[in-house]
Structure 1
Amino acid sequence: MHRHVRLREPRQHWALLSLVLAVLVGVLLLQGYVERSWSDLSPAPPEPGGETPPGHKRDGRLLADSEPVVDLSGARPGAAAMPAGTIALTFDDGPDPRWTPQILEVLRRHQARATFFVLGSKVAAHPQLTRQIVAEGHELGSHSYTHPDLSRVPTWQRGLELSLTQKAIAGATGHHTRLLRPPYASVPSAMTAPEYETARALSRDGYLIVLANRDTKDWSGRTPEQIVAAATPRGRQGAVVLVHDSGGDRGATVTAVDHLLTRLDAAGYQFTTVSDGVGLPATSLPATRPQRLAGLTLVGAQLVGHVLAAGLTVALGIAGALTLVRVVLLVGVARLHARRARRARRKWRRQLQQRRRVMRLTFPAVSVVVPAYNEAAGIAATVRSLVAARYPGRVEVIVVDDGSTDGTGHIAARLRLPGVTVIRQANAGKPSALNTGIARARSGILILVDGDTVFEPHTIERLVRSFADPRVGAVSGNTKVGNRRGLLGRWQHIEYVIGFNLDRRMFDVWACMPTVPGAIGAFRRDALASVGGISDDTLAEDTDLTMAICRAGWRVVYEEKARAWTEAPSSLRQLWRQRYRWCYGTLQSMWKHRRALIERGQAGKLGRRGLTYLALFQVALPLLAPAVDVFALYGLVFGEPARVLAVWLGFLLVQVLAGAYALRLDGERLRPLWSLPLQQVVYRQLMYLVVIQSVVTALLGAPLRWHAMRRQGTFARREPLAMP
């Protein structure tokens, strides 16, 4: 039932899409790792001298008499101290965009130099601030990338933390550093045995371990006076002073540093870097060009990750709002449609009772056109169901065999059913087959039916009665999934009932129906003539035709009681091909009829209501909706799993309630709803990818070939009335 044309299907963008997804996943993982670790810094790190962690044994004898600058690479520890009258102010956990500039301003006014032990993740987040630190004559040291306890993480993570920090510093400043202060390190005597062994390993890797003589514990809520007292050495002793320029509110620290510099300047103290104070050789080493490039890549990746995380948050909000708005709209309008439909059916029954004697005049003759391409598995069941229709008027059935190679036309002809005509033509595509059948039809009402569809006995009557209104040019029936026994079939059944049929109820109320499905649709011949018949401009000829009829001024309505059973794809590959063609064809139709947005009357309703709805909820929402799932996974790994799970379950509950209502409106059992959670995890993702690929293909302007769906003969094995 389609044109047997093989065009080259675009595949290059899959490689590009996979690469982009891999990069995005990578930067999100990096950002999540960073964000989770930054949250551990607030309000301040745990006190090194406080409670001993499990498995850690504090032994003050390890470095009890050691000076603060330690080299543990040899058999015996080497150490160095600041000379008398010399202070090395060291700032941990920065750079911070709020507090570090204030610290720099204080140092600048006092013409003092200091050493900043920076977190690589914050260097990557604020490279310009890092460069400012170096440009003003200060020194950089490593404080890891995300501030973990290096003595309690695996060796691979410890190496990753320090390597990433070096890359970030290289990307920001073009240099590496040999100085390292492990997170949570303090004075030498507070070092535990695991911390000592870790420091030895780091020394063997070429790092100089910088501890402190004076730990101000400024993170613990101390006042500026208390911080100054803790930082002031005894007599004329030199010291390495530990303070922080990030990790919480550092207002007291800024004030304390100013007071400390003022007091010790007057006492003749010199403030310098750790390296200059102890006379170390160069601890800042130039990075090679590849190292700088790797660093710039890391800085860029973290920036992209930050922007992406923020973008996901926005996308999550938009997608959530659109989802809720759609559910509210569909359910609310569906209730209105159901009331209108009940009133219309009661009115129809009263008219039948009044016109019982002239009933045959009430029902016009009907022509049913069945375009068929390789439908041998189901064509017999389709034709039999049409001939068996309980319709008082005359029904002719025209089967157009569009160049089938499986004997479809011969099967239909061998049935020898009354009122059935079989026409054979060379393969020219479904629009051509439909136009051929329409040209041979003799009735003013035409029903177009796919070759894999089975009608219920009263379907034709229920379709035709809507044409009592002379404004109606087309009627959409209710398509039901026949092969719904498997999980994939249940998912499609749910989609047809909850998605397609609720949408059609709303489009009917809003008078902007964009699609009469090819499986079951009735048309007034005058309406078809007004648009020039079936066009082959798009891959969704049913959507194109319906939009054209709306723009020609006709109303298109939905009759939920006119049911037809169709065979849905039985594999994910077939489903992908079908939905890809539908989605791409819908995009083509929307673009073709875009002028409806500015037209008046029925065309304007289609444009401003129907096309806007399609653009928001069938294009934009599927493009944004993956953000919900990505953000959920992101939150489960790096955020608050309980909160994320609660939000996801909330959205699922809303969908379940809407689904239950839709199934009830259609007279269906609620049992398939058990598969809805699985549908959200697997099936929905497939539909999102279909929309994404369709949009990418449309933007690239690539051609798309027709895809044949292999039929299983669902209705050849059972009677229509036995269907669920």
Structure 2
Amino acid sequence: MVEPAGPTTRRRLPGSTRRRTPGPARRRRAVPPPSGILLGTVLALLAGVLLVGAYANASFAPDRRNDVAGQREVPTSVVTGGPIISASSELVRSYRLPPRTIALTFDDGPHPVWTREVLKVLAAHQVKGTFFVLGSQVARHPEVTRELTDGGHQLGVHTFTHPDLAELPAWRQRLEYAQTQLAVAGATGTRTSLVRFPYSSHPGAIDNRDWPVVTAAGDLGYLTLLNDTDSQDWSLPGVDRIVANAAPDGDAGAVTLWHDAGGDRSQTVAALDRFIPMMKERGYRFVTATEGLNLAFAAAGVDHRMDAATPAGTGERWRGRTLIWAVQGADRMLTVFGVLFVVVGVLTVGRTLVLFVLAGRHARRRRARDWSWGPPVTAPVSVIVPAYNEKEGIAAAVRSLAGGDHPGGIEVIVVDDGSTDGTADIVDALGLPNVRVVRKPNGGKPSALNTGLALARHDLIVMVDGDTVFEPDAVRRLVQPFADPQVGAVAGNVKVGNRRSLIAKWQHIEYVIGFNLDRRLYETLRCMSTVPGAIGGFRREALRYAGGMTDDTLAEDTDITIALGRAGWKVVYEETARAWTEAPATMGQLWKQRYRWSYGTMQAMWKHRRSVLDRGASGRFTRRCLFFLSLFGVLLPLLAPVIDLLALYGLFFLDRRATAVAWLVMLGVQTLTAVVAFRLDREKLGVLWVLPLQQFVYRQLMYLVMVQAVVTALTGGRLGWQKLRRTGLEPAVRNG
């Protein structure tokens, strides 16, 4: 027989001499109950960010169709006319630049590198250009857009997302123009009347699909600018070919098409540096689009002058700035999501590998034939059951405890904490000789546990929730680790008893993977953070060193476990000591339970935060414990939604196949972890068919629970104890 013994050199924790006496719990400021407000707010915010990012990245823009639509509806004067088109539903005119006149036009910018390189070449040769900008790029690089207008260059609309406008309805076409105008107004304080459509070329290429787009833009007051020559620099044909493509025939005037974004534009920059002086030597002058148009007017004897740029109104400027902020914010958020995706992936894979190695080592060591905690522990045990309105399950719980096969004997103390449903009377009616019932005013679970601890006759203490059913050998197995005098507490193996519903099956999987497998890891690393309230064994001496149970947090089990670790006691996991608990049966009940757990855990972490600077056992334990709790208990659950968000985003706006493969890989990692955990826990694998479904509902609920718990912690709110509704475990579980 091994009597309980403990180290004599334990460091008493600060404040542990002040034992709280049972009494009314301190009044807590209640937080509004969980509702759909948080869910709706979070989802709306994230959806807005992702949709703005998707729109700015042209995810809604249709690609160009290559079919030929004919030109029967296009006026001959346009097909054979010049590249400057003033077309509306009432009047159509087209213009050419005068001979030996060139307008350099650039598409798809601005770009923070290549647009500035182009500007350097233009400045060196004292030439102005016309830049047809994408609204999304203006929003991303407003400072480059301002450099264009400050340098005397001209701006034109090239749509917001570069779609094939002929494939868009009229309202989307107007939106493309309007959003680009807003971006330009926000960046430069001006608006422009020039437009060039994506995928457009020379007038002779306008077909029946394109012509309605041209006339609709004309009705909105836009002047359409096509081109005479196309450098085709986008295809990177080489500097010589680009120069030859851009040069007009003979002395003809020309609107030339170049690009200052969309890829590596080094050939464009080099070609411009050669093209401009070459054309000047041929007697050409360089103009902006409207300068060339005004020259054309003068040559035709038309008394009219046009300026593409006009001042934007104050309201338009502010709306433009808001659009710029929205696009930049969405871009930054998507970048953050990308980084977090990598972080979550690394954490998930790293945690999985560590679990496989250390938890597997723990299981192999325990199953070795020569493994033993030491001589059998047969000292008597006091079992404390705090109970508040537990009429549904208290009888089954007490019977399972009183009938345990521990050879040293079991004393069961049921502390009725002010129940109003007759819990104490139910226990009295059982008439079990080794069961005592203690009635006290409601003071909270820690108060009830301390009351039971004060009345317990023995030095080995087992603490049990009032809804938990023990297997016959659970108490005996739970206390065997106390053969090691350094062990101060033992975590048992909690099982979900009500596994019939889908929600309960999900919790069963979580208990096996997230709790029991983790406990193997944490024991190996000497940083166990929680002895579960459902089944936990303690030395009375260890509890005394740690200061007893307190109501400083809502997770008194985590609080006392960290305190024990700080005091230098070993906390271990005994997987053969099994108890069955009733898991929440509804989403609302589950939310309340996990909300309290998450918030209480963060309270415990905050309470013990300063001990990371302690020397000796306290500091070593706390640094390890809080590191893993912060990493895998708080940070990873908070960041895990990134996987689902980017998966959803990718299915709609990115490569669907790559997204699906990435998501399936993550699911495969989780499934592999589940299989290993279930094998180690000797559980049947059949229930794992619900694991894929868990990814779509249960995980999201856990995300939101953690988010609300963090918000509550940051805002300083405090939660009251939230009692769950019990129905009692199934008879099969009650019988072990």
- TM-score bracket relative to the smaller structure: over 0.9
> Would you say the 8 A contact 1:90–1:115 is kept in 2?
yes
Q: 1:268 and 2:283 equivalent?
A: yes
- The residue identity in structure 1 corresponding to 2:263 is G
Name the CA distance, whole Å, in 1 between partners of 2:205 and 2:236. Answer: 21
User: Is the alpha carbon distance of 1:555 and 1:220 closer, same or farther for their aligned partners in structure 2, counting shifts above 3 Å?
Assistant: closer
- Cross-structure match for 1:28: 50
Matches within 5 A, 1:402-481: 402-481=417-496
- The one of 130, 149, 165 aligned to 2:145: 130
- The residue identity in structure 2 corresponding to 1:254 is V
**1:150, CA displacement in angstroms?**
0.6
> Would you say the 8 A contact 1:498–1:659 is kept in 2?
yes
User: Is the alpha carbon distance of 1:596 and 1:39 closer, same or farther for their aligned partners in structure 2, counting shifts above 3 Å?
Assistant: farther
- Cross-structure match for 2:575: 560
**1:285, CA displacement in angstroms?**
2.0
Name the CA distance, whole Å, in 2 between partners of 1:114 and 1:284. Answer: 14
Give the SS at the match of 1:655. Answer: helix
**473-482 or 148-157: which moved more?**
148-157
- The one of 275, 293, 300 aligned to 1:278: 293
Give the SS at the match of 1:529. Answer: helix
> Would you say the 8 A contact 2:58–2:163 is kept in 1?
no
Matches within 5 A, 1:669-688: 669-688=684-703
Name the CA distance, whole Å, in 2 between partners of 1:90 and 1:516. Answer: 71
**1:466, CA displacement in angstroms?**
1.4
**1:435, CA displacement in angstroms?**
0.8
> Would you say the 8 A contact 1:511–1:605 is kept in 2?
no
Name the CA distance, whole Å, in 2 between partners of 1:639 and 1:632. Answer: 9
- The one of 404, 409, 412 aligned to 1:394: 409
**1:501, CA displacement in angstroms?**
0.4
Measured against aligned partners, the alpha-carbon deviations of 1:221-243 in whole angstroms (never above 9, x if no partner) come to 33433333333334443222222
- The residue identity in structure 2 corresponding to 1:599 is D
- The one of 314, 318, 332 aligned to 2:357: 332
**1:600, CA displacement in angstroms?**
4.3
> Would you say the 8 A contact 2:98–2:253 is kept in 1?
yes
Name the CA distance, whole Å, in 1 between partners of 2:598 and 2:280. Answer: 74
- The one of 194, 211, 220 aligned to 1:205: 220
Measured against aligned partners, the alpha-carbon deviations of 1:164-198 in whole angstroms (never above 9, x if no partner) come to 11111111111111110111111111111110111
Measured against aligned partners, the alpha-carbon deviations of 1:516-548 in whole angstroms (never above 9, x if no partner) come to 111101111111122222111111111111111
Name the CA distance, whole Å, in 2 between partners of 1:541 and 1:626. Answer: 28
Q: 1:292 and 2:306 equivalent?
A: no
Give the SS at the match of 2:57. Answer: helix
Matches within 5 A, 1:284-683: 284-343=309-368, 347=372, 363-683=378-698
**1:19, CA displacement in angstroms?**
4.7
- The residue identity in structure 2 corresponding to 1:590 is M
Name the CA distance, whole Å, in 1 between partners of 2:172 and 2:728. Answer: 57
Name the CA distance, whole Å, in 2 between partners of 1:387 and 1:605. Answer: 39
**1:571, CA displacement in angstroms?**
0.8
- The residue identity in structure 2 corresponding to 1:100 is T
User: Is the alpha carbon distance of 1:672 and 1:641 closer, same or farther for their aligned partners in structure 2, counting shifts above 3 Å?
Assistant: same
Name the CA distance, whole Å, in 1 between partners of 2:236 and 2:253. Answer: 26
**314-323 or 64-73: which moved more?**
64-73
Name the CA distance, whole Å, in 1 between partners of 2:639 and 2:611. Answer: 25
User: Is the alpha carbon distance of 1:719 and 1:194 closer, same or farther for their aligned partners in structure 2, counting shifts above 3 Å?
Assistant: closer
Name the CA distance, whole Å, in 1 between partners of 2:126 and 2:34. Answer: 59
Name the CA distance, whole Å, in 2 between partners of 1:12 and 1:468. Answer: 45
Name the CA distance, whole Å, in 1 between partners of 2:339 and 2:712. Answer: 26
Name the CA distance, whole Å, in 1 between partners of 2:488 and 2:279. Answer: 92
Name the CA distance, whole Å, in 1 between partners of 2:429 and 2:33. Answer: 43
- The one of 44, 49, 57 aligned to 2:70: 57
User: Is the alpha carbon distance of 1:688 and 1:549 closer, same or farther for their aligned partners in structure 2, counting shifts above 3 Å?
Assistant: same
> Would you say the 8 A contact 1:514–1:606 is kept in 2?
no
> Would you say the 8 A contact 2:469–2:733 is kept in 1?
no
Name the CA distance, whole Å, in 1 between partners of 2:372 and 2:284. Answer: 100
- Cross-structure match for 1:166: 181
Name the CA distance, whole Å, in 1 between partners of 2:734 and 2:653. Answer: 52
Mind listing any 5+ residue stretches in structure 2 that lack a counterpart? 1-21, 295-304
Name the CA distance, whole Å, in 1 between partners of 2:42 and 2:592. Answer: 23
Give the SS at the match of 1:557. Answer: strand
Name the CA distance, whole Å, in 1 between partners of 2:723 and 2:29. Answer: 13
Measured against aligned partners, the alpha-carbon deviations of 1:210-256 in whole angstroms (never above 9, x if no partner) come to 11222333323334333333333344432222222222333333233
- The one of 158, 161, 176 aligned to 1:143: 158
**1:274, CA displacement in angstroms?**
1.2
TM-score by length of 1: 0.92
- The one of 226, 242, 247 aligned to 1:227: 242
**1:598, CA displacement in angstroms?**
3.1
**1:5, CA displacement in angstroms?**
6.2
Q: 1:111 and 2:136 equivalent?
A: no
Name the CA distance, whole Å, in 2 between partners of 1:568 and 1:215. Answer: 70
> Would you say the 8 A contact 2:54–2:60 is kept in 1?
no
> Would you say the 8 A contact 1:33–1:638 is kept in 2?
no
Give the SS at the match of 1:151. Answer: helix
- Cross-structure match for 2:29: 7
- The residue identity in structure 2 corresponding to 1:673 is L
- The residue identity in structure 2 corresponding to 1:282 is D
- The one of 246, 252, 261 aligned to 1:246: 261
Give the SS at the match of 1:636. Answer: helix
Name the CA distance, whole Å, in 2 between partners of 1:322 and 1:673. Answer: 23
User: Is the alpha carbon distance of 1:235 and 1:347 closer, same or farther for their aligned partners in structure 2, counting shifts above 3 Å?
Assistant: closer
Give the SS at the match of 1:292. Answer: helix
- Cross-structure match for 1:357: none
**1:621, CA displacement in angstroms?**
1.0
- The residue identity in structure 1 corresponding to 2:134 is L
**1:6, CA displacement in angstroms?**
6.7
TM-score by length of 2: 0.91
> Would you say the 8 A contact 1:511–1:602 is kept in 2?
no
> Would you say the 8 A contact 1:95–1:129 is kept in 2?
yes
- Cross-structure match for 2:105: 90
Name the CA distance, whole Å, in 1 between partners of 2:455 and 2:216. Answer: 89
- The residue identity in structure 1 corresponding to 2:308 is T
Aligned sequence identity (%):
50
**1:272, CA displacement in angstroms?**
1.2
Name the CA distance, whole Å, in 1 between partners of 2:27 and 2:422. Answer: 19
- The one of 166, 186, 196 aligned to 1:181: 196
User: Is the alpha carbon distance of 1:268 and 1:337 closer, same or farther for their aligned partners in structure 2, counting shifts above 3 Å?
Assistant: same
**465-474 or 568-577: which moved more?**
465-474
Mind listing any 5+ residue stretches in structure 1 that lack a counterpart? 47-51, 353-361
Report the RMSD for the aligned CA atoms in angstroms: 2.5
- The residue identity in structure 1 corresponding to 2:160 is Y
- The residue identity in structure 2 corresponding to 1:304 is G
- Cross-structure match for 2:167: 152
**1:10, CA displacement in angstroms?**
5.0
> Would you say the 8 A contact 1:444–1:525 is kept in 2?
yes
